[in-house]
Structure 1
Amino acid sequence: MLLMNLAVAFAAIAQSTWKNSKPILLRDTVLLPALGFLGIIALWWIIALFRRDLMPTPPEAFVNNLDFILHPFYQRGPGDLGIGWLLLASLRRVIIGFSLGALVAIPLGFLIGMSRSVMLAFNPMIQIFKPVSPLAWLPIALAIFNLAEPSAIFVIFITSLWPTIINTALGVSSVSKDYLDVAQVLEMPKWRQIYKIILPASLPYIFTGLRISLGIAWLVIVAVEMLTGGVGIGFFVWDEWSRLNLSSVFLAVLVIGVTGLLLDVAIAQLQALVTHRRPSTVNS
């Protein structure tokens, strides 16, 4: 009887807690974000009213973009593709360049974090190249490859290296020395120390670097495609602006932003799956 009473009491407390937390959850996840978006739309509407010669209002932009929204994967000719195909083309370049960058940056970050000599050798190079604007690499890439496609991938590769290298090296160098001392006492091989101790401890740092690198890669591809042309969401923005079609530019900005958010969420979920930790929602 006592157990039954306790169960009823716990159920009542849980139900009361859920009822009290439900309005807070609704406010934090729905109402406040909606207010933020409504504020942006209102500001856009006000500016559009003063620039009626060029800028459309939100309803006008929505109507003008109905074809892109309803048929994102149409193909009406070699250069007339739906925004879905353009987005996939940009994503393909980003994923290739980002993946190649991660394959180089993570091992190099491990070497830098584990060896002072390697750190002293590579640190000046990293500090010099890290602040270089991504677009400054584009002429060099075009001179090397003489083609827009590999040049865009190279720029993604080179600019996505630095955050992953730095964060990986920081994670590796932050591993507690006590753990490594115990591993040496147990005569654990170096490769096993890396796999069993250093890698698990540095994974949160590595994923932080990967999230930052992926965000930079997605930023860079839009600017690169504006300059190189071809098929991609960046060139779409520039082409629509050349036609003074700001409605499509606003649509592209929304698509780029939502895609960037989804990419970050995907990396965060992968981090949670690998590290079994809840990832932070804000990039450092």
Structure 2
Amino acid sequence: MSSINLRALVVSLSFLILVLGIWELNAQAPAATEAVSEYELLMGGAEQEARVPPPSAILVRAWEELSNPFYDAGPNDKGIGIQLGYSIYRVLSGFFLAVLVAIPIGFLIGMSPLMYRALNPYIQVLRPISPLAWMPLALFIIKDSETSAIFVIFICSIWPMLLNTAFGVANVREDWINVARTHELSPLRTAFTVILPAAAPTILTGMRISIGIAWLVIVAAEMLVGGTGIGYYVWNEWNNLDLTSVIFSILMIGIVGMILDLLLTGATKLVQYDE
């Protein structure tokens, strides 16, 4: 590990310890006493001040949940591993469906100025629409919450991949294309042997953006449709007024999102090249 990375790690851990320490002390401090009105006394006393649970309580809950993450005690009582599994399945299903559509269309509009001008108006109209705005229509047409959630992930994943693919393909160096023409390569072979390797870093950057958006959207989508998934887990624990579980689930959402991003970041580094 280089010295700069070591110093960055020390600073990062120091910042984390400082924040957690302040949080723990503030959460454990007794609430300031306030005057209680006569009405509150008649009604049985004042309500206690609600507090955010301390990090120590969240660590205990994390140990409880992660020690048995795949238990299934009924529709509203499943382990965090099962909930995350449902969410990851929906995200990857919608994401890979978007890959099958976005990359070929991105190649098409990146290689053909005519198709770019023809399809660009539709892309610009559909791209700004919130993915969750499609949920009511998807539920009405598909009539299945699971498939509707996958469709919403497909919709939110397709645009970054499509646009990045088109950009990467359109900006492949012209002399590389000319070399392929000199060797009389077919358009299909040129696409696979010249354009795809050159545009791969840009395509994977689009895929990385898409997976991040998909992971954001699935939480909100599962809050709407309910049943299973990490989004439903968060909402269900909030309805149970269990803030400790809510914060734990928020941390798990962040960790899984980071892992998905790291996987695509690693894939992007593998296809990068030095000119």
Among residues 25, 34, 46, which one is paired with 2:5 in the alignment? 25
Q: Which amino acid aligns with 2:256?
A: T
Q: Which amino acid aligns with 1:123?
A: N
User: Could you give the per-residue CA deviations for residues 214-267 of structure 1, whole angstroms, max 9, x where no partner exists?
Assistant: 000000000000110011000000111111111001101110001001011111
The CA deviation at 1:41 is 2.7
Among residues 117, 127, 139, which one is paired with 1:130 in the alignment? 127
Greater mean deviation of Cα atoms: 107-116 or 73-82: 73-82
Q: Which amino acid aligns with 1:135?
A: L
Among residues 102, 105, 110, which one is paired with 1:105 in the alignment? 102
The CA deviation at 1:197 is 1.0
Among residues 259, 266, 269, which one is paired with 2:266 in the alignment? 269
Q: Does 1:173 align with 2:152?
A: no
Partner in structure 1 of residue 116 of structure 2? 119
Q: Does 1:150 align with 2:147?
A: yes
The CA deviation at 1:160 is 0.3
Greater mean deviation of Cα atoms: 121-130 or 150-159: 121-130
CA–CA distance in 2 between the matches of 1:119 and 1:185? 26
Q: Does 1:230 align with 2:210?
A: no
Report how many aligned residue pairs link the two structures: 256
Aligned ranges 1:59-78 → 2 under 5 Å: 59-78=56-75
Q: Secondary structure at the match of 1:56?
A: coil
The CA deviation at 1:172 is 0.2
TM-score, normalising length from structure 1?
0.84
Partner in structure 2 of residue 56 of structure 1? 53
Q: Quick check: 2:95–2:154 contact (8 Å CA) kept in 1?
A: yes
Partner in structure 2 of residue 34 of structure 1? 13
Among residues 89, 93, 110, which one is paired with 1:96 in the alignment? 93
Q: Which amino acid aligns with 2:5?
A: L
Structure 2 unpaired stretches of 5+: 32-47
Q: 1:45 to 1:276 in 2, by over 3 A?
A: same
Greater mean deviation of Cα atoms: 88-97 or 175-184: 175-184
CA–CA distance in 2 between the matches of 1:193 and 1:122? 23
Partner in structure 1 of residue 158 of structure 2? 161
Q: 1:236 to 1:118 in 2, by over 3 A?
A: same
CA–CA distance in 1 between the matches of 2:191 and 2:141? 36
The CA deviation at 1:52 is 4.9
Q: Does 1:252 align with 2:232?
A: no
Alignment RMSD: 2.1
TM-score, normalising length from structure 2?
0.86
Structure 1 unpaired stretches of 5+: 1-20, 279-284
Q: 1:161 to 1:22 in 2, by over 3 A?
A: closer
The CA deviation at 1:54 is 3.8
Identity %: 46
Greater mean deviation of Cα atoms: 79-88 or 176-185: 176-185
The CA deviation at 1:152 is 0.1
Q: Secondary structure at the match of 1:158?
A: helix
Q: Quick check: 1:54–1:244 contact (8 Å CA) kept in 2?
A: no
